[in-house]
Amino acid sequence: MKKILLSVLLAVFLVACGASNTSNDKKDAGKLLFYAGLQEDHAALIAQEFEKETGIKTEFVRLSSGETLARLKAEKDNMTASVWYGGPVDGMVAGIEEGLIEPYISSEAANIKPEYKDPNGMWTGIYVGYLGFVGNEKLLKEKNLAMPTSWADLLKPEYKGEIVVAHPGSSGTAYTMLATLAQLMGEDEAIAYLQKLNGQIRQYTKSGTAPGRMVGTGEALIGITFLHDGIKYQKEGYTDIILAAPSEGTGFEIGGVSLLKNGPDQENAKKFIDWVLTKKAQELGRTVGSFQFLTNTTAVNPEEAKAVEGAKLIDYNFDWAGKNKKRLVERFTKETNAAVPEK
């Protein structure tokens, strides 16, 4: 009887030790800070779930693409974050040019299509989103106006002072617009077009997601933004929002993830990149209203993404867009005389 009792006590002791060791392993798993270029609620969910699975204390700072690039340049010799997660990879390509990103090819990248990742591991795509227009259907009807369906439509006199869009100097969304038009029309013609469009603009916002919300609340009639953000606001109750993709063709973003050069927590950063590329992590987005197309070949796209899958896409050159970002933004700002908004 004593032998049985001792055996039971020993087993309980070993289980307790194992549980304690597991707990300590998680407690000592370290930390991670990432800069997030996607919606705040999406980034918060990813941080929460990654920490829950790994025990790595995970925090993030939500920044626009332009803000991220500026901060990384300022922190180049003393990096605070270890990962850039979300937002168009054009910005990451610009970061590569500045020496801010280092290669990492995750084992999970095998499930990502070649067109959605850098062959050298400088960035890997996590989602794809299409650029387009959002309109407030109620206000359009009140003003007896049709929803614009082309880039040319936006220049019509009836839309003067009715359009909101972010500034490409602060927003990756707006830079996608600038680079799209440059590739669609040719650079000089695109700048001439944007000078005309500048006369139609009610407000340049700092964030690329702001135009969608402004249209939803009735603060603006027309917004230029990523269409999945428009769908998100529809689902959040802004039911007057309607969507359109420009008939001439439109660009798209690959939202990516990159390992920052000389980040303080490189090993945890690699674990994070591995995790966000998985089917499970990519499919989390829809639970907080992120309805982009997913890059993992085993992941299932959100049902809501079907609403925009018929958009006419241009052959968008991400490498060219990233390498020419600084020059194009400077030219846009100078030739439209549109200052980067402070907030």
Q: Is the pLDDT of residue 132 over 70?
A: yes
Backbone dihedral region of 123: left (phi > 0), alpha (psi from -120 to 50 degrees) or beta?
beta
Q: 136: left (phi > 0), else alpha (psi -120 to 50), else beta?
A: beta
Provide the pLDDT confidence category of residue 342 given band limits of 50, 70 and 90: confident
Q: How far apart are CA 340 and CA 343, in angstroms?
A: 9
**How large is the average pLDDT for residues 146-172?**
97
Whole-number Å distance between alpha carbons of 180 and 5: 74
129-252+312-336: CATH superfamily: Periplasmic binding protein-like II (3.40.190.10)
| Count of beta carbons in the 10 Å neighbourhood of residue 81 | 24
Q: What span, in angstroms and rounded, lies between the C-alpha atoms of 338 and 73?
A: 23
Taking 90 as the threshold, does the pLDDT of residue 21 lie above it? no
Are the C-beta atoms of residues 62 and 90 closer than 8 Å to each other? no
Q: Is 20 a residue whose pLDDT tops 90?
A: no
Q: What's the pLDDT tens digit per position in 95-128?
A: 999 999 999 999 999 999 999 999 999 999 999 9
According to the model, what pLDDT value does residue 27 have?
A: 58
Length of the chain: 343
Residue 124 φ/ψ region, left for φ over 0, alpha for ψ in the -120 to 50 degree band, beta for the rest: beta
Q: 129-252+312-336: same fold as 33-128+254-304? A: yes
Which residue bears the tokens 């039971």? 8
Give per-residue pLDDT as tens, 186-218.
999 999 999 999 999 999 999 999 999 999 999
* Average pLDDT of the residues of the chain: 92
d(CA 9, CA 124): 50
User: Domain 33-128+254-304, CATH 3.30.420.40 — does that match?
Assistant: no
* pTM score of the predicted model: 0.88
Q: Assess contact for 31 and 56: CB atoms under 8 A.
A: yes
The DSSP-derived string for 111-166 is GB-GGGB-TTSS-EEEEEEEEEEEEEHHHHHHTT-PPP-STGGGGSGGGTT-EEEE
DSSP class per residue in 237-306: T-TTEEEE--TT-B-EEEEEEEEETT-TTHHHHHHHHHHHTSHHHHTTGGGGT--PEE-BTTSPPPGGGG
Residues ≥6 apart with Cβ < 8 Å to 114: none
pLDDT, tens digit, 9 for 90 and up, residues 53-87: 999 999 999 999 889 999 999 999 999 999 999 99
